[in-house]
Amino acid sequence: MVWRGIFVILSVLFAVCVAVEEKEHVLTLDHTNFTDVVSNHNFIVVEFYAPWCGHCQKLAPEYEKAASVLSSHDPPIVLAKIDASDEANRGLATQYQLKGFPTIKIFRNGGNNIQEYNGPREADGIVAYIKKQSGPASPEIKSKEDAANVIDEKKIIVVGIFQELSGEKFENYTTLAEKLRADYDFAHTVDAKFLPRGEQVDKPTLRLLKPFDELFVDFEDFEVEAMEKFIAESSIPIVTYFDKDPENSIYVSKFFNGIGAKAMLFVNFSTELDAFQSKYKDVAVLNKENGLKGLSFLLGDVEAGEGAFSYFGLKPEQAPLIIIMENDGQKYLKAHVEPDAIASWLKDYKDGKLKPYVKSQPIPEVNDEPVKVVVRDTLEKMVLNSGKNVLLEFYAPWCGHCKALAPILDEVAVSFEKDSNVLIAKLDATANDIRTDEFDVKGFPTVYFKSASGKLSQYNGERTKEAIIEFIQQNRDDKPAQSEADSTTPESVNTDSAKDEL
């Protein structure tokens, strides 16, 4: 009996231990408590996720480990999560302009200050990044030892040098540091001699230390916007290298998130790098000196750039390949480019002599399903210039919401199959360029309706057969049927022929 009693006690203790070990440290939020929880915290980190997202599933255990560690911080730091794919939480997803999963945001001062989380995705890195973000935006460097602890020689850091830590310029600097702390490391000092690079200065100076190009650069305009622009331009290398070196990943991210047109040259680093590297950098330096349309430059390894090739709808066999992408999505490219041809091709771009490249899937040979397939090359004919009432879905093959909507659109299409003035269609937005002047697609699925007379509107109603059919009936405006005589005029025949040839 004694042993049995001990066994029961041990079993209970074991169960308690397991319960403690299995305690979740990540706080779960939804639309009912999100605002209250965020407003009651001076600092809280929130992950917006979707259960079906592979990246979210990979992040989950690391995020939980980090939450466990940070719960013991003094003061405790709260990590939370919210299922942004849940229909009930869609309002929050829209409010915070989510563009993908997972998205992590840092909320400060009860949610009055919101910043993107741009740190690592593994537990130790998350902990280190969040601890730094929860501290002062710009620590003071008072000695060379402080500088050694704060400045990582392999990273960018912005240092404000002031003769006294007060005044308008210092206040503008602290405002900037708070604003950009999620993107850059900041520090300040009253003596430049503590810094590893650069000369002494006798007036307020913003010094950007970096592990590439000229290693440091100074700036003296302390207007917040001017400093922000200076940091954005100076923190991108003259040529950003895109390979499998993790040290380069942060610069690749800044390159793609930066403003202005982007030139990207992809070559095989193992066999072609030496032939292209110096000539491409010479072009980039010349651009920086002459301001060639604000271009920034990237040199990528074909093997590391598989995702980029997929995005642009290109094949590695086309390398050496140079691409220019502008802010509005317009693209220009040249396949099998020679090292000596890069400068002249870029000059042709500057002079407006290049024809834009448009990504499109092949036109389907058979298109007889209820929901018709539209590709970029048929968008004008099937949708914009069709003279029909068209409901067009922009989707991604991997999107769970798109998969859920597919059978509903099939039912809608079947209900209109005998109505020649209505077309239900879909376009794979990951494989076809989107006309950004017509369509604003920031997430999937995005559904637009184009009436027969050409009126374009976005559908944001319920994703049910009944709601979609009702919307179409209320917004359609069929054109009068063209008479037989009109349809055989020479002008109309010639126009149709021209369109077919195009």
Active site members: 53, 56, 399, 402
Residue with tokens 């009253």: 190
3-class DSSP state for residue 375? coil
Cα(36)–Cα(173) distance, rounded to whole angstroms?
32
Give the total residue count for the chain. 502
Neighbour-count burial of 327, counting CB atoms closer than 10 A to its CB (0-12 exposed, 13-18 middle, 19+ buried): exposed
Cα(24)–Cα(22) distance, rounded to whole angstroms?
6
CA 267 to chain centre: 24
Residue with tokens 């002008």: 491
Residue with tokens 């980029």: 308
In sequence order, which residues have a C-beta less than 8 Å from that of residue 396 and are 6 or more positions away? 402, 428, 429, 430, 444
Return the biggest CA–CA distance within the chain.
106
In sequence order, which residues have a C-beta less than 8 Å from that of residue 89 and are 6 or more positions away? 30, 31, 34, 82, 83
- 243 in Cβ contact with 300 (< 8 Å): yes
Residue with tokens 């915070």: 96
Neighbour-count burial of 172, counting CB atoms closer than 10 A to its CB (0-12 exposed, 13-18 middle, 19+ buried): buried
- 151 in Cβ contact with 230 (< 8 Å): no
Establish how many alpha carbons lie within 13 A of residue 266's alpha carbon, considering only the half-sphere containing its beta carbon.
21
Q: What is the 3-state secondary structure (H, E, C) of 58-84?
A: HHHHHHHHHHHHHCCCCCCCEEEEEEC
